[in-house]
Structure 1
Amino acid sequence: MADKLKFALALALLAAGVAGFYLLAEQPLVVRVLSVLVGVGAGVGVAVLSEPGRRFVDFAREAVVETKKVVWPTRKETVQTTGIVFAFVVVIAIFLWLTDKSLEWVLYDLVLGWK
């Protein structure tokens, strides 16, 4: 129940920040944007204090750790893979064009007799 209240408070703070943007219409844009940022920051701060918020932060940290374990391809590998994909697409496009023209020839010239 407490987590639901924290989440509701976080949403209210976010809404207050957005409402502040419109209520401060006569103020400079910087003040209006700061009201939104303060609302978002306060909402996130309250949300992180809840159990689902803590679980999300833990998940995000683990995701960053796993991302650092990934072996990213080199520039050469990326260019080679892109070239292979491009060549495959060209080959498939030619195959589909030949199939289409063959079916067109069979249907229109041989079966229907339209020349």
Structure 2
Amino acid sequence: MTTQAETAPNSSLNAVKWVLAIAILIAATVGNRYAPELLPQLSAWVRIVALVIMALVALGITLTTIQGQAFLKLLKEAQVEARRVVWPTKDETMQTTLIVFVVVLVMSLVLWGVDSLFGWMISAVIG
């Protein structure tokens, strides 16, 4: 039994937030496309800053939606799990890297040999 009261998600507010975020992204895209024609004195840096700000505002709005909150929860849980992982030591990493390098080298030599053999056989048949 939980002690927190469960509230029904406000789907209409959630939909409004999504529409607003998408509208901001569309406005940023259209504005960036037509800004040089409408305002030729506007520099590229101003357009870039405006795009970044609008994208961050849209991201902020989407993070307040139900799906955005679930995504933030997922990120927090993933961070906790990443701390629990036992990462390999430097020696283990180097050994594994060297093994992969040697296997790739050996396989490339085998493939080169097979390719040369097939090339020689086809040359012998064709003449």
Q: Would the TM-score normalized by the shorter structure come out above 0.5? A: yes
Q: Which residue of 2 aligns with 1:53?
A: 68
TM-score (structure 2 length as normaliser): 0.66
TM-score (structure 1 length as normaliser): 0.72
Question: CA separation in 2, counterparts of 1:35 and 1:113?
Answer: 66
Alpha-carbon offset, residue 29 of structure 1: 5.3
- 8 Å CA contact 1:48–1:57 kept in 2: the answer is yes
Identity of aligned residues (%): 33
Q: Is 1:9 equivalent to 2:20 in the alignment? A: yes
Q: SS where residue 73 of structure 1 aligns? A: coil
Q: Which residue of 2 aligns with 1:77?
A: 92
User: Which 5+ residue runs of structure 2 have no aligned equivalent?
Assistant: 1-10
The number of residue pairs the alignment matches comes to 112
Q: SS where residue 39 of structure 1 aligns? A: helix
Alpha-carbon offset, residue 25 of structure 1: 5.2
User: Which 5+ residue runs of structure 1 have no aligned equivalent?
Assistant: none
CA RMSD of aligned residues (A): 2.8
Larger RCO of the pair (alpha carbons < 8 Å, separation 6+): 2
Match of 1:101 among 116, 119, 124: 116
- 1:9 maps to a residue whose letter is L
Q: Which residue of 1 aligns with 2:105?
A: 90
